[in-house]
Amino acid sequence: MNLKTKSFLELKEALDQGEISSESLTLNFLDQIRKWNPKLNAFIHLNEKALEEAQEADRLLKEKGHQDQKPLLGLPLAFKDMFCTKNLKTTAASKMLKEFVPPYSATLVERLLKRGAINIGKTNQDEFAMGSGNQNSYWGECRNPWNLDCISGGSSGGSAVAVAAGMVPLSFGTDTGGSVRLPASFCGVVGVKPTYGRISRYGMIAYASSLDQAGVFTRRVKDAAFVLEFVCGEDGKDSTCSPKKVPKWTECLDRSLQGLRLGKPKECFEKELDVEIREALEESFQMAKEAGAEVIDVSLPYLDLAIATYYLIATSEASSNLARYDGVRYGYRAPVNELEDLMDFFSCNRGEGFGLEVKQRILIGTYVLSTGYYDQYYKKACQIRRLLYEGYLEVFKKCDVLLTPVTSQAAPSIHISKPHSLSTYLKDYFTLPINLVGLPAMSLPLKLNSKTLPLGVQIIAPHFEEQKMFNVAQALEDRLLFKEFPHVFH
């Protein structure tokens, strides 16, 4: 059995049936990491106890009867380095936290490990999740397994690559403006960001608190729906985590889209799109129609303002969230002998500890929130956020789900991608508005383009209606079944 190509649920079945052991599974993935990580740089720290934990899982699997309490028993997975993992380095890919070892785990991590999952390690990302190419990492760039000269996408590049390259069958990332959906699309895997508030953000290093949400990368839609049932749900440690009941999404995956109204936002399709992406999107609309859906043209009039709105709000929230990194109780402290005063102490630590993109965003955010500019920029952006929000609610009266591109092009070459430029910010057009409004959205791989790079489609549902999104994704996956594997598998 080529374990690298199996989905999370296929591996679960094999483990539960005794066809494979967690130890052999873990060894298989560690071997793939050993072979390919030097080129891909998807993992930045490995859990040295992973094999030991897998052996313990095997002991429990042999005993039988544990799977009810531990439905993820023996299954390996990985976490973006934004998630605190107790006693395992968590750096947010920043020099600021390069030695940080959290004394606690994020709620998301705890919920998975409690159910028997094995943490293989921490994956690469853009520093503090700021970026969309995984080119802003203290630990170096992450590469695309489909073409090593191309970017993986970001900021959760490492997590996307880890699944795409068969290093783990499932991984977690964070999505603030598209950081799960975009690398999923570039790497040819499923990437799901649930509704804002579904998953507790406790222990997830904060970038922009009203935009951040955890997300998952998998090979199949059903894997994502399955694992999210365990991590979503109220958490007393995060007051922005919704108490809404978490449905059993996997039990209601309806293959028919009969009666479903699929919205096609005109603003998205008026944008300049790569020809092959446009074709792939049209094919997916056609496929959805064949499955019984009705395609409806809709409009989101304020969409062109989403990028400006997003960056004004995200940078403001980031400037506040990253104020805690001062080199006093943890984090980087500059080796400086002569200090003017306390402010000098903070400024040196932060000046040396943060990378350029992070500094840029903190400075923008600081300016936006400063006296004289708050109303003109921050308050204004929040008002436009309200207009966007209302716009989506209006559109969801006319349709059940929206289908849009994830990006306007496939993964670009690492040599032409400019991570710090405004033009890079503009590429997040399709994914950013979703975080402003807090909607659930996912990226589904459609096909490879003429350069054997993956193309994906974005599926967006109303708040807390992930079932609709999963249903559309499942129906498309059934018809398309993206069965391609990059050369790193062979």
Partner 1 sequence: MKERVKQIEIDVKKITSLARIKITEEEEKTLKKRIEKFFEYVEKISEIETKNIEPLFNPLSRETLFHSDDVEDSFSASSALKNAPDVLDHFFKTPSIIKGASSGSKKESKPLKKSMEDEE
Per CB under 8 A, which of residues 71..130 are in contact with partner 1? 99-101, 103-104
**CB nearer partner 1, residue 266 or residue 386:** 386
Q: Is 254 helix (H, G, I), strand (E, B) or coil?
A: coil
Stretch touching partner 1 by CB under 8 A, among 140-148, 170-178, 272-280, 322-330? 322-330
320 is a site residue for partner 1 (CB under 8 A): no
Task: State which of residues 88, 190, 362, 459 lies at the interface with partner 1 (CB under 8 A).
Answer: 362
> In this complex, which beta carbon is closest to partner 1, that of residue 251 or of residue 338?
338
Nearer to partner 1, 170 or 384 (CB): 384
- When binding is defined by CB under 8 A, the residue of 293, 303, 312, 488 that contacts partner 1 is 312
Please, which residue, 45 or 420, has the CB nearer to partner 1? 420
Q: Is 269 in the site for partner 1 (CB under 8 A)?
A: no
Six token digits for residue 449: 């383009």
CB of 367 to partner 1, least distance (A): 5
Check if 80 is active-site.
yes
What backbone torsions phi and psi does residue 436 show, to the nearest 5 degrees?
-60, -35
Distance of alpha carbon 486 from alpha carbon 209, whole angstroms:
35
Does 51 help bind partner 1 (rule: CB under 8 A)?
no
* Beta-carbon count within 10 A of 105 CB: 23
| Residue 54 contacts residue 23 (beta carbons within 8 Å) | yes
Catalytic residue list contains 179? yes
Pick from 342, 394, 413, 481: which binds partner 1 (CB under 8 A)?
Answer: 342
Site for partner 1 in 278-307 (CB under 8 A): 302, 305, 307
The residue range among 48-56, 66-74, 136-144, 347-355 that interacts with partner 1, by the rule CB under 8 A, is: 347-355
From 354, 429, 430, 482, residue interacting with partner 1 (rule: CB under 8 A):
354
Choose, from 4, 6, 70, 80, the residue flagged as catalytic.
Answer: 80
**Which is nearer to partner 1, 148 or 382 (by Cβ)?**
382
Based on the residue annotation, tell me whether 21 is a catalytic residue of this protein.
Answer: no
* Tokens read off for 236: 């007393």
Round to whole Å and give the CA distance between 208 and 82: 13
Taking the least distance from each CB to partner 1, the nearer of 66 and 380 is 380
Instruction: Give the one residue of 50, 96, 224, 381 binding partner 1; rule: CB under 8 A.
Output: 381
In angstroms, what is the minimal distance from the CB of 89 to partner 1?
Answer: 10
Does residue 197 interact with partner 1 by CB under 8 A? yes
The letter for the amino acid at 322 is L
Give the residue with the Cβ less far from partner 1, 218 or 316: 316
**Residue 72: exposed, middle, or buried by beta-carbon count in 10 A (0-12, 13-18, 19+)?**
buried
In the complex with partner 1, the residue whose CB is nearer, 180 or 307, is 307
Residues 384 to 443 in contact with partner 1, rule: CB under 8 A: 384-387, 389, 420-422, 425, 436-438
| 489 near partner 1, rule: CB under 8 A | no
Q: Does 230 bind partner 1 (CB under 8 A)?
A: no
Report d(CA 397, CA 71) in Å as an integer. 38
Which residue of the set 105, 179, 200, 417 is catalytic? 179
Which positions from 145 through 164 interact with partner 1, judged by CB under 8 A?
A: none
> Token digits for 298?
């809709």
Give the separation between CA 92 and CA 421, rounded to whole angstroms. Answer: 21
Q: How far is the CB of 82 from partner 1 (least distance, A)?
A: 17
Q: Please pick, from the candidates 55, 67, 147, 366, the single residue that binds partner 1 as defined by CB under 8 A.
A: 366
Is position 210 an interface residue for partner 1 (rule: CB under 8 A)? yes
Region for residue 247 given its phi and psi (left: phi exceeds 0; alpha: psi -120 to 50; beta: otherwise):
beta
CB nearer to partner 1: pick between 65 and 236: 236
Stretch that binds partner 1, among 61-69, 280-288, 363-371, 465-473 (CB under 8 A): 363-371
Of residues 234-253, those binding partner 1 (CB under 8 A): 236, 239-240, 242
429/151 Cα distance (integer angstroms): 18
Catalytic residue chosen out of the listed positions 155, 200, 316, 443: 155
Q: Which one-letter amino acid corresponds to residue 139? A: W
DSSP, res 337: S
One-letter amino acid for residue 229 of the chain: E
Q: Residue 244 CB, nearest distance to partner 1 (Å)?
A: 10
Candidate segments 66-74, 199-207, 379-387, 445-453, binder of partner 1 by CB under 8 A: 379-387
Nearer to partner 1, 74 or 419 (CB): 419
Of 22-30, 41-49, 176-184, 324-332, the segment contacting partner 1 by CB under 8 A is: 324-332
- Tell me which residues are annotated as active site: 80, 155, 179
